[in-house]
Amino acid sequence: MEKKRVIVTERIAEEGVKLLKTELEVDYRDGISREELLQIIDQYDALIVRSVTKVNEELISRASRLKVVGRAGNGVDNIDVEVCTRYGVIVANTPDSNTISAAEQTISLLLSSARNTAWANSFVKGGTWDRKPFRGVELYGKTVGIVGLGRIGSMVATRLKAFNMKVIAYDPYITDERFERFGAEKKNTLEELMQEADFITVHTPRNEETMHMINEKMLALAKDGVRMVNCARGGIIDEGALLQGLEQGKIGSAGLDVFEKEPATNNPLFTFNNVVCTPHLGADTYEAQKRVGENIAEQVIKALRGDIVPNMVNLPTMLSEELDYLRPYILLAEKMGSFYYQLEKSPVSRVELTYSGPISMNETEILTVSFLKGLFKPIMDEKVNYVNARLVAEDRGVQVYEKKEGQSAKRYKNVVTAKIYNHSHHLDIAGTVSRARDPLLVEINGYETETGLEGFVIMVENRDRPRVIGPFATALGDEGVNIASMKVARKTRGETAIMLINVDNKVEDSILEKLKGLDGIMGRPRLLEF
């Protein structure tokens, strides 16, 4: 089988390249020109970039084979995610890979600026031994304000708790449970945080909302001598306001790893002895770069296999523990979606999905798109994926509705229920996950069952009376078909029942046609594949 191809247009760690080569044909072209890339991009299934290569519609429209763009790093400023989504191209990054390094760099700059370490270092090396100019402050007992309690912000909180600091935080997009988990006192407004904090560190993405969010007005609210750290993105702290605060003595010190304009040269902030500056080193450790290379390689390989990609930018990003919890339900949702077109031919008009039980407390968007992926894959093959499944539904005029219920009405802790409508009737199915974390069908059109959704399943309606089930099973055995398990369900005694039979191998159409003629069998048995 011919290997799929990936082109790497910027430098990644050698470990990442080696991992890619285990499954893919790798074209490592660090520094390739834009013109050449545009000419050859249609030859590749995957593209890996850092921050230089511009992934826009000009490029994507020529990339007829492209299925995934991997960003070796966190930000995706150079990638038009909306365009990629429209073309069904997965965008993945590595937000966790440099988390530890960025958190440690934050602590480093906070300590260095609080104790005037960099200034003292240059003094001593310059031949002067004098400690008087360098008296600093302790972290012990002080209040640190963290703006953004995501991955890096929460790590910083954990580490600063060890210094016996009081941790307060502002993040309107984080649940109260997360504040409690990391021991941070929640502040409902940025103004509250500015007024209370002795140290302030920012850990948000840079966008329209966060650009210059800490400005002259905000700094006016801060305590005199407040100390600022920015290891996130340049511009979150307004450099003009920061400069003015330093000149006026309002700001006691600053630690800066990022700047509004990079590369930063001749920046007026460099003239202050109480400002520690580094050239965007947050992710620049050996360990982080190794993780970035390996993680983006893993994600690209997963995407090309058709597996779940943990850090898809086109979908809500989940914490790894949340993804681990949802993973079997993601598989369940996809298998439930695949039911319809194995049983029906009429186009779908509407889908109603209900998530019941503790599962409803999680981000369920990935479950919905997994269901849609399973629904459309039988009629679209590889053209539908986790990224474009919603767009496919929209293009086909399928309305998608979702509902969450805190408690399941059925006897299972967590249940996913789907109603799939066409122009004349609808298919109702419900599923859950077994103790072994395997997908189970628990109801179909009102018939209760517990059928494993793995391999091949024969589904057949039958008369609810004696001497129907036994002869049917015997006939399967006579044709060399081994039954792995069988579930029989009925609604009303003596009327129509349903058999769901897991078998070890595919059953030929000719055999199904024979089974149709058995006494008590209502219609041709259906063979479903999962």
Q: Do 47 and 137 sit in the same domain of this protein?
A: no
- State the residue range of the domain holding 57: 1-95+284-314
CA atoms of 43 and 146, how far apart (whole Å): 46
Q: What percent of the chain has pLDDT over 70?
A: 98
- 170 and 184 share one domain: yes
Residues 192 and 57 in one domain: no
Residue 322 has pLDDT above 80, yes or no: no
Q: What DSSP element (H or E) covers 275?
A: strand 275-277
**What is the band of 209 on the pLDDT scale with cuts at 50, 70, 90?**
confident
Quote the CA–CA distance of 299 and 306 in Å, as a whole number.
11
Give the CATH number for residue 309: 3.40.50.720
Q: Is the pLDDT of residue 71 over 70?
A: yes
- 51 part of a folded domain: yes
- One domain, residues 135 and 258: yes
Asked if residue 123 and residue 24 are part of one domain, the reply reads no
Q: Is 209 within the bounds of a domain?
A: yes
Distance CA(479)–CA(467), nearest Å, equals: 19
Q: Are residues 32 and 111 in the same domain?
A: no
Number of domains observed in the structure of the chain: 2
What pLDDT score does 423 carry?
84
Percentage of the chain lying above the pLDDT 90 cut: 75
Same structural domain, 271 and 129: yes
Q: Report the pLDDT averaged over residues 492-510.
A: 93
**Cβ count near 269 (within 10 Å):** 15
* Burial (0-12, 13-18, 19+ Cβ within 10 Å), 141: exposed
Q: Count CA within 13 A, CB hemisphere, residue 85.
A: 12
Shared-domain flag, residues 162 and 270: yes
Mean residue pLDDT across the chain? 92
Q: Region 147-175: what's the mean pLDDT?
A: 92
pLDDT at 382 over 60: no
Q: How many residues does the structure list for the chain?
A: 530
Mean pLDDT, residues 61-68 taken together: 94
Sort strands 68-71 and 143-147 into parallel, antiparallel or unpaired.
unpaired
Output the 3-class SS for 157-206.
Answer: HHHHHCCCCEEEEECCCCCHHHHHHCCCEECCCHHHHHHHCCEEEECCCC
Confidence class for position 320, pLDDT limits 50, 70, 90: low
Residue 272 belongs to some domain of the structure: yes
Mean pLDDT over 366-378 rounds to 90
pLDDT at position 386 is 78
The C-alpha atoms of residue 395 and residue 374 are separated, in whole angstroms, by 16
Residue entry with tokens 């990079």: 262
202 within domain boundaries = yes
Reading the block at residue 72, the tokens are 């070796």
In a domain, 475, yes or no: no
In-domain check, residue 519: no
pTM: 0.61
The catalytic residues are 233, 262, 280
What is the per-residue pLDDT across 14-43, written as a single tens digit (0 to 9) for each?
Answer: 999 999 999 999 999 999 999 999 999 999
Contacts with 166 (C-beta within 8 Å, 6 or more apart), sequence order: 141, 142, 143, 144, 185
pLDDT average, residue stretch 173-181: 81
Within a domain: residue 38? yes
Q: Tell me the pLDDT tens digit for each residue of 397-430.
A: 899 999 999 888 888 999 999 999 988 889 999 9
Helical (H) or strand (E) element with 122? helix 117-125
Both 160 and 90 in one domain: the answer is no
Q: What is the pLDDT of residues 211-236, one digit of tens each?
A: 999 999 999 999 999 999 999 999 99
pLDDT at 73: 85
In this prediction, residue 526 carries a pLDDT of 94
Q: Is residue 456 part of a domain?
A: no
Nearest by Cα to 28 from 46, 51, 42: 46
3-state class (DSSP) for residue 335: helix
355 near 416, Cβ under 8 Å? Answer: yes
Residues 226 and 103 occupy one common structural domain: yes
Residues 289 and 259 both lie in one domain: no
- Specify whether the CB–CB gap between 301 and 91 falls below 8 A: no
Do 185 and 273 reside in the same domain of the chain? yes
